[in-house]
Structure 1
Amino acid sequence: MLTLFVSAFVLGIAFNAAPGAVFAETISQGVRGGFRPALAVQLGSLVGDATWAILGLAGIGIALQFDALRWPVGLVGAAYLFWLSWASWKTAKVEYSVDATPERSAKQALNKGMMLSLTNPQNIAYWAAMGGALGAVGVTHPKTADYAVFFAGFMVSSVAWSFFCAAVVDRLFRRAGKRWVSFTYRLCATVLLALALGTLRDLIYPAQSTTPPQHKPMPVQR
């Protein structure tokens, strides 16, 4: 069980450290409000991560790969990424100082993190794959306890990463100058736009095979 927990912990770090929409929004919120909003984005995203993890490990994630469900989730996710990109680009022009109301911005950041994770179609494929990938760590006939340990290891690493990532973002951008803040917002807007376009591309031109590999989880961007 310890090996399974450690494997899930390491996998969780790799999953969370992959740059994507959540990371871009964490930077965007960290520039504006510092540690608390940056942490809120990360913790909010864990709601979606946990949801997809439970569904995927329960085997439901495979069903979610059908077009009838994949398209609505993907379109909502792409639309939200487009909106965040536009908002970040607009903010770069008008807002250059750290937010003086961290409580309000933290709540908004929490909601954004939740929305980004819940509407990320890559999470569907990732956890559908992980539902059958425990054999890679030596669990050929996983039971409920094995899934529970794996889920616990993943979530512990995700919470630890949330605090680490928020602290790094806060440290890097706490004394950011006006030009650097504006550049950061524009960079985040560009990344979010690219991710939105990538989401649409994946919907229109899906991979040739929708069957996930048994021993190698699909890469995912947060």
Structure 2
Amino acid sequence: MFALFFTALFLGFIFNAAPGAVFAETIRQGIRGGFKGALAVQIGSLVGDALWAVLGLTGVGLLLQWDLLRLPIGLAGVLYLLWLAGDAWQEANKEFSIKLAPTNTYSKKALRSGILLSITNPQNIAYWAALGSAMGAIGVSDPTVSHNLIFFTGFMVASFLWSFVCAGLVTQVFQRSQRDWTRLTYRACAIAFLLLAFSSLRNLWSSYVAPQDSVQPPAIHSEP
């Protein structure tokens, strides 16, 4: 059981530390909202992580059929990334002072962004669909409810701890930057969102459209 917990803990840190849309949004919101803004994005992403973890560990994903589920979620994720790219670019062009907001405006917006980015990330589906091999590697070939609960607990503990670590790092590195550097960071985030959107769209195209185009009709042999 301890091996299972620490395996989930390790995989949780790897999963959350991988750079992606959530990290870019953490930087963007952390510049304006400080530690609370950055943390709100990370905490919001835990909602989506927990959702996909429950679906993956309980086997509900198999009942929903992965291919049918990934397409609409992937398209929603692409649209949201494109919206974030445009929003970040517009924010970079505005005149603003780098001061923390006295209200919870940025925290609420950051929390909502974290939730949507995590829920609409099709990579979460693939990640949890492949976790059976991770359990099998440590001798859990037929996981029970207790195994799933331990794995889920380890993963969420890692995700929760990483939320504070990431928010703290982002605040220390980016929030104290000068105005020109902040604008450049916002534009970099916008480009990152745009590239991630195109990458997701390309993956969807190769998964659903390209295989159908590559199917050749059977050859028709004429009678001699």
| Distance in 2 separating the partners of 1:22 and 1:99 | 21
Aligned to 1:37: 37
Counterpart check, 1:142 vs 2:137: no
Deviation at 1:132, TM superposition (A): 4.9
| Distance in 1 separating the partners of 2:162 and 2:91 | 27
Larger Rg: 2
- 8 Å contact from structure 1 (residues 59, 131) kept in 2: no
Q: Would the alpha carbon gap of residues 95 and 23 (structure 1) be closer, same or farther in structure 2, given more than 3 Å must change?
A: farther
Q: Which moved more, 1:121-130 or 1:21-30?
A: 121-130
Aligned to 2:116: 115
TM-score by length of 2: 0.88
Aligned to 2:81: 81
| CA RMSD between the two structures | 1.8
Q: Would the alpha carbon gap of residues 91 and 82 (structure 1) be closer, same or farther in structure 2, given more than 3 Å must change?
A: same
Counterpart check, 1:127 vs 2:128: yes
Amino-acid identity (%): 54
Aligned to 1:14: 14
The ranges of structure 1 where at least 4 consecutive aligned residues each deviate by more than 6 angstroms after the TM superposition are none
Q: Would the alpha carbon gap of residues 90 and 64 (structure 1) be closer, same or farther in structure 2, given more than 3 Å must change?
A: farther
Any stretches of 5+ residues in structure 2 without a counterpart? 212-224
The count of aligned residue pairs is: 209
| Distance in 2 separating the partners of 1:120 and 1:48 | 9
Deviation at 1:51, TM superposition (A): 0.2
Any stretches of 5+ residues in structure 1 without a counterpart? 210-222
Q: Which moved more, 1:75-84 or 1:87-96?
A: 87-96
Letter in 2 for 1:126: Y
TM-score by length of 1: 0.89
**Deviation by residue 1:17-57 (Cα, 9 ceiling, x = unmatched):** 00000000000001111100100000000000000011011
- 8 Å contact from structure 1 (residues 61, 125) kept in 2: no
Q: Would the alpha carbon gap of residues 11 and 42 (structure 1) be closer, same or farther in structure 2, given more than 3 Å must change?
A: same
- 8 Å contact from structure 2 (residues 41, 115) kept in 1: yes
- 8 Å contact from structure 1 (residues 60, 128) kept in 2: no
Q: Would the alpha carbon gap of residues 140 and 41 (structure 1) be closer, same or farther in structure 2, given more than 3 Å must change?
A: same
